[in-house]
Structure 1
Amino acid sequence: MTDTAIPASTAPPAVRLTGGTAALGGRTVLRGVDLKVARGEVVALLGANGSGKSTVVRTLVGLVPLTGGHIELFGTPYAKFRDWSRVGYVPQRTTAAAGVPASVREVVASGRLTRRRMFRLGGDDRTAVDEALDAVGMLDRARDGIDALSGGQQQRVLIARALARRPDLLIMDEPMAGVDLASQEVLAETLHHQQEEGRSVLLVLHELGPLEPLIDRAVVLREGCVCHDGAPPPATGQHALPGHDHVHPHADDHHNARPGLLS
């Protein structure tokens, strides 16, 4: 049983990262990051490539260890947190197929698997999978092979896999990157529904774009530090982000890096 019945105003935040520091390949990436996502809040994590956005969310799901600071999820210290079914995670753009033949339904159903139930899914699981597929407009493609889908459609499937868990907290890393307009619109509609359901959402974004009306608060990173935490900045591109450096070294290697590669 979860504590989702507790009023959002009095419940501990879904996420609390305090003084978070982390390093990748011996290079310090996060320098004392504080981040909070309240119950039912939609927070955008913004910043340029290399600012640490993706590293923040990867610390929250256990993919990158903190070197300092601490994390709480739903008021529970990270080391004691066990109810991972409450957290849905959509990683940075990757192929949903991963070289393994699978149907759309099978990929989404994998989001319902746990260590206790590795192979058998019940009726409630199948209902959750259908609901998730319907939410992202892919129910009619459930039997199709995942490798037959476009990049935007595969991204929808990955989102459906996270939604199939019926999470209280949804973490998405660059969900808008490289997807077509139709998929962006589906994502915006899906997030609006999650917001109406009172779920907490943390999004890594380069720009707010069509998601701007859904964002309650924006946290902007610069060089591994929080330089803004408050109202979303005007949706006028990266140049308007607080702390944005207007020096653009277009000739260096960073300019050609994939989005989030250095994060």
Structure 2
Amino acid sequence: MSAVIPAAAKARHPREAGAAPAVVCLCDAVASLGGRPVLRGVDLKVRPGEVVALLGANGSGKSTTVKSVIGAVPLERGGLELFGTPFAKFRAWHRIGYVPQRTTAAGGVPATVREVVSTGRLPQHGLFPFRRKDRAAVDRALAQVGMLDRAEDGVAGLSGGQHQRVLIARALVGSPELLIMDEPMAGVDVTSQQVLADTLRQEVGRGAAVLLVLHELGPLEPLIDRTVVLRDGCVAYDGPPIPSTGQHALPGHDHVHPHEDDHLTTPGLLA
């Protein structure tokens, strides 16, 4: 049984172009990993309130694209603006929530669920101690993903789907205006898929923009405004979602989903 988002969830109106700057504007992006060219001139725009899904076969550049957006992979050529500000001048990282490909939530460091989620408040006001409103924000984020009852548990004892929910809560704790998620559905249980679907519906409902890397649209399809399909580091399609289109339907898909570069550091966000 898959998570289902009601069609009514699409009853919203992303702001028209020109009313506000795009939250992401990536232009002619060229980037390499380990000396290997990965992005070969990618153009990507995400507007306020819009939900955009990046699709493509393995090695097409999906994860590298979002890591370029958050600064984890530097551009060799091209331009990047966040909320209308050139990347080199952008400092408002609290406006962005990032969920990396599924990995151990604390990176092998002993920590509780609450401690991991609390790190998501650091871009707002720096180091601890936390204030009362910070703790309240952590509680809200944990409740949103159904993990408040596990707040004091160690993350080492969580299942894979629960780890993913902790990472989502960490991204949500700052009430971001842009939520970036890299393969959030990969390898998680049905319960966690439902939590993700419900969480995204709530975030979209409050006006957040969302950029997702997906293998296929699946149960999130009713929320998607645009799909951008990458092939060999270039944009092969940018437009309305095509039903039943996803990585599995694209040429060259090998049905293997390695998680590349899970541990790249991120200048503005905790990866």
- Looking at structure 2, the residues matched to 154 and 16 of structure 1 have their Cα atoms a distance apart, in angstroms, of 30
Q: Which runs of 5+ in 2 are unaligned?
A: 1-13, 263-271
Determine the structure 2 residue equivalent to 1:8.
15
Consecutive aligned runs of 4 or more in structure 1 exceeding 3 Å deviation: 236-241, 259-262
TM (norm. structure 2) is 0.86
* One-letter amino acid matched to 2:227: A
Determine the structure 2 residue equivalent to 1:125.
134
Q: Which runs of 5+ in 1 are unaligned?
A: 1-6
**Per-residue deviation at 1:114?**
3.7
Q: What per-residue deviation string (whole Å, max 9, x for no partner) do you get for residues 93-123 of structure 1? A: 1111322111111110011014853121111
CA pair 95-198 structure 1, distance change in 2 beyond 3 A: same
* One-letter amino acid matched to 2:15: A
Contact residue 102 and residue 146 of structure 1 kept, 8 A: yes
Determine the structure 1 residue equivalent to 2:29.
20
Contact residue 129 and residue 164 of structure 1 kept, 8 A: yes
Determine the structure 2 residue equivalent to 1:92.
101
Q: What per-residue deviation string (whole Å, max 9, x for no partner) do you get for residues 118-160 of structure 1? A: 1211111111111111111111111111111100001000000
Tell me the matched-pair count: 247
Determine the structure 2 residue equivalent to 1:3.
none
Contact residue 49 and residue 261 of structure 1 kept, 8 A: no
CA pair 208-42 structure 1, distance change in 2 beyond 3 A: same
Determine the structure 1 residue equivalent to 2:77.
68
> 1:22 aligns to what SS in structure 2?
strand
- Looking at structure 2, the residues matched to 208 and 131 of structure 1 have their Cα atoms a distance apart, in angstroms, of 27
- Looking at structure 2, the residues matched to 153 and 191 of structure 1 have their Cα atoms a distance apart, in angstroms, of 16
> 1:16 aligns to what SS in structure 2?
strand
TM (norm. structure 1) is 0.89
**2:227 maps to 1:180:** no
- Looking at structure 2, the residues matched to 93 and 156 of structure 1 have their Cα atoms a distance apart, in angstroms, of 10
- Looking at structure 2, the residues matched to 72 and 214 of structure 1 have their Cα atoms a distance apart, in angstroms, of 25
Q: Aligned ranges for residues 205-216 of structure 1 at < 5 Å?
A: 205-216=214-225
Paired-residue identity, %: 66
* One-letter amino acid matched to 1:191: L
Q: Aligned ranges for residues 9-158 of structure 1 at < 5 Å?
A: 9=16, 10-114=19-123, 116-158=125-167
RMSD: 1.9
> 1:113 aligns to what SS in structure 2?
helix
CA pair 24-210 structure 1, distance change in 2 beyond 3 A: same
Determine the structure 2 residue equivalent to 1:258.
258
* One-letter amino acid matched to 1:8: R
- Looking at structure 2, the residues matched to 159 and 240 of structure 1 have their Cα atoms a distance apart, in angstroms, of 27
**2:211 maps to 1:202:** yes
